[in-house]
C-alpha cells in the first residue's frame, strides 16, 4: 500500500463528519518592516513589524536605493512623532528625531528638523487617522498629508538612508510599504529591496 493511498483513505474517513480538509493560505509578510535590530531602547514594534509605539525611533529594514521611493505612515494615535529618513548612525533614542546630522524628519509640532536645527516651521500637521506620505528622490524629501503635498521639503540629504519613524508621549504610528491608502506621486515607487533593483 502506498503512502498516497493511505492519505486518500484517511481523507475519505473524515468526509461528511464535519472534519473538512481545508487549505489555509499563508498571508505573506513583507520583508520591508521596522527593523527590531535598529530601534531606540524604549521602542516597541508590533503588528508584524509595521506598528511603532513607546519612546524613540526605528529604522526600516530596507534602505532607499532606487531613484524615486515612496512610503506612507498612518497616524493611529497622536503624541510626539517624527517621520523621515536617517542613516544607521542616527540617534534612535531621542524623539522626534532630527537631533543629529544623520536624520531628516517632519515632526508632530509642525516643523522639519535636521542636525538639531528647525529647517522649516509652521507646517500643517495631520490628525489621528491621517496618512503621511513620504517621497525621496536622492535630492528632495517631500511629505504629503492624505495625498496633498506639503509645500516645504528637505534637501542636502547624504549617505545611505532608511525610512525612520520616531514616537513618544503616547504616539502610535503604522508603516505602510504596499497597498497604499493614497495614490503614489507620479514616477515614485514603493520601497524595493536591493536585489529586486537588478
For residues 167-171, average pLDDT: 98
Number of alpha carbons in the 13 Å side-chain half-sphere of residue 136: 28
Taking a C-beta distance cutoff of 8 angstroms, is the pair 73, 143 a contact?
no
Distance in angstroms (rounded) separating the CA atoms of residues 83 and 154: 12
Residue 44 has pLDDT above 90, yes or no: yes
Taking a C-beta distance cutoff of 8 angstroms, is the pair 38, 87 a contact?
no
Q: What average pLDDT does the chain have?
A: 88
Residue 93 has pLDDT above 80, yes or no: yes
- The pLDDT assigned to 27 comes to 52
**pLDDT band for position 194 (cuts 50, 70, 90):** confident
Taking residue 133's Cβ as centre, other Cβ atoms within 10 Å add up to 26
Share of the chain above pLDDT 90, in %: 81
Going along the chain from its start, the domains and CATH numbers come out as 29-197 (2.60.120.920)
* 48-87: pLDDT as tens digits: 999 999 999 999 999 999 999 999 999 999 999 999 999 9
Q: Following CA atoms 93, 84, 124, 140 in sequence, which dihedral angle do they give, to the nearest 10 degrees?
A: 150
* 12-28: pLDDT as tens digits: 444 444 545 444 444 56
Q: Helix (H) and strand (E) counts for the chain?
A: 1, 14
Distance of CA 85 to the CA centre of its chain: 11
Amino acid at each position: 500500500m502506498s503512502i498516497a493511498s493511505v492519505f486518500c483513505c484517511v481523507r475519505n474517513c473524515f468526509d461528511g463528519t464535519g472534519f473538512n480538509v481545508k487549505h489555509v493560505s499563508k498571508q505573506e509578510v513583507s520583508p520591508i518592516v521596522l527593523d527590531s535590530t535598529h530601534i531606540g531602547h524604549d521602542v516597541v514594534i508590533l503588528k508584524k513589524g509595521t506598528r511603532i509605539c513607546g519612546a524613540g525611533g526605528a529604522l526600516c529594514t530596507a534602505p532607499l536605493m532606487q531613484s524615486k521611493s515612496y512610503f506612507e505612515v498612518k497616524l493611529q494615535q497622536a503624541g510626539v512623532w517624527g517621520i523621515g529618513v536617517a542613516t544607521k548612525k542616527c540617534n534612535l533614542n531621542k524623539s522626534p528625531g532630527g537631533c543629529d546630522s544623520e536624520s531628516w524628519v517632519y515632526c508632530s509640532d509642525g516643523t522639519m528638523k535636521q542636525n538639531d536645527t528647525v529647517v522649516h516651521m509652521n507646517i500643517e500637521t495631520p490628525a489621528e487617522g491621517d496618512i503621511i506620505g513620504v517621497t525621496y528622490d536622492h535630492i528632495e524629501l517631500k511629505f504629503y498629508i492624505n495625498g496633498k503635498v506639503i509645500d516645504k521639503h528637505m534637501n542636502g540629504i547624504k549617505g545611505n538612508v532608511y525610512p525612520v519613524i520616531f514616537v513618544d508621549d503616547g504616539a502610535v504610528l503604522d508603516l505602510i510599504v504596499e497597498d497604499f491608502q493614497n495614490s503614489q506621486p507620479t514616477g515614485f515607487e514603493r520601497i524595493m529591496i536591493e536585489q529586486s533593483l537588478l
